[in-house]
């Protein structure tokens, strides 16, 4: 009988100590590209020739500057003073809302998330999730990323790979091209993350 009382008191003690007055923090879904006003990413951009020589190099800063409500949902933009390009994360992934004319607009799926390796989706052309655990190494560290590839080559023969790390955003974009005299592709453009600060 004493043993039962002891077990009961131990269970009661553990239960009471596991409870507290502060509410539990609600679960927050990871976004493939975290969108919040003030989030910022800095990229190093390099244009290369077919021999791998850098012919142009520059840095650009992407900052979320404001949000708005469109069709009852919240969208964000990186541009000002007024933008026709808005972005959001929803159950399908990271999407773009493009206003081309006052009465005409279009949704584009940029990065399907969550998703599975081999899964195809319609974005700006056909895209595919090549990997959900690709590792891309930059100057600021290594990032476990979703790797997206263009299934459709652009009309001018180019295509791109995108490494996107959930909770961080775009880590790298690699654009491939080929010369008029060769069928082999080379890296024409490389965009790599060098700094980020996201909420």
3-class state of residue 90 by DSSP: strand
Q: Rounded to whole angstroms, how far apart are CA atoms 3 and 24? A: 34
Reference 36, options 56, 61, 9, 63; nearest CA is 63
pLDDT for position 7: 36
The predicted-structure confidence for 57-114, as pLDDT tens digits, reads as follows: 999 999 999 999 988 899 999 976 556 789 999 999 999 888 765 555 567 789 999 9
**Which stretches does DSSP call E strand in the chain?**
40-48, 54-63, 66-70, 73-77, 85-90, 93-101, 104-112, 120-123, 125-138, 141-150, 159-165, 169-178, 185-197
pLDDT for position 29: 79
The predicted-structure confidence for 8-22, as pLDDT tens digits, reads as follows: 333 334 334 444 443
pLDDT for position 18: 41
pLDDT for position 179: 82
Q: Report the DSSP beta bridge partners of residue 123.
A: 125
The predicted-structure confidence for 128-178, as pLDDT tens digits, reads as follows: 999 999 999 999 999 999 999 987 665 567 889 999 999 999 999 999 998
pLDDT for position 21: 40
Q: Residue 118 — pLDDT band, cuts 50, 70, 90?
A: very high
Report which DSSP code applies to 36: -
Q: Residue 24 — pLDDT band, cuts 50, 70, 90?
A: very low
Q: Rounded to whole angstroms, how far apart are CA atoms 67 and 86? A: 8
pLDDT for position 181: 82
Q: Rounded to whole angstroms, how far apart are CA atoms 92 and 115? A: 9
Q: Rounded to whole angstroms, how far apart are CA atoms 128 and 152? A: 10
pLDDT for position 101: 53
Residue 3: pLDDT over 50: no
What Rg, from alpha-carbon coordinates, does the chain have? 23
pTM for the whole structure = 0.81
pLDDT for position 103: 52
The predicted-structure confidence for 25-67, as pLDDT tens digits, reads as follows: 344 579 999 999 999 999 999 999 999 999 999 999 999 999 9
Task: Show the domains of the chain with their CATH numbers.
Answer: 29-197 (2.40.360)
3-class state of residue 17 by DSSP: helix
Q: Rounded to whole angstroms, how far apart are CA atoms 111 and 115? A: 9
142 touches 163 (CB < 8 A): no
């Amino acid at each position: 009988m004493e043993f039962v009382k002891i077990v009961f008191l131990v269970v009661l003690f553990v239960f009471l100590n596991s409870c507290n007055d502060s509410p539990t923090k609600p679960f927050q879904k990871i976004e493939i590209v975290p969108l919040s006003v003030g989030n910022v990413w800095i990229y190093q951009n390099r244009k290369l020739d077919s021999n791998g020589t850098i012919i142009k190099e520059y840095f650009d800063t992407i900052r979320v500057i404001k949000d708005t409500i469109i069709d009852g949902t919240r969208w964000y933009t990186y541009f000002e003073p007024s933008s026709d390009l808005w972005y959001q994360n929803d159950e399908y992934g990271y999407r773009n809302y493009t206003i081309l004319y006052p009465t005409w607009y279009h949704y584009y799926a940029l990065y399907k998330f969550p998703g599975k390796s081999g899964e195809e989706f319609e974005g700006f052309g056909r895209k595919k999730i090549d990997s959900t655990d690709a590792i891309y190494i930059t100057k600021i560290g290594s990032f476990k990323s979703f790797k997206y590839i263009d299934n459709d080559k652009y009309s001018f023969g180019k295509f791109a790979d995108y490494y996107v790390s959930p909770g961080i955003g775009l880590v790298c974009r690699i654009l491939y091209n080929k010369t008029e005299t060769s069928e082999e592709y080379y890296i024409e453009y490389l965009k790599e993350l060098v700094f980020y600060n996201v909420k």
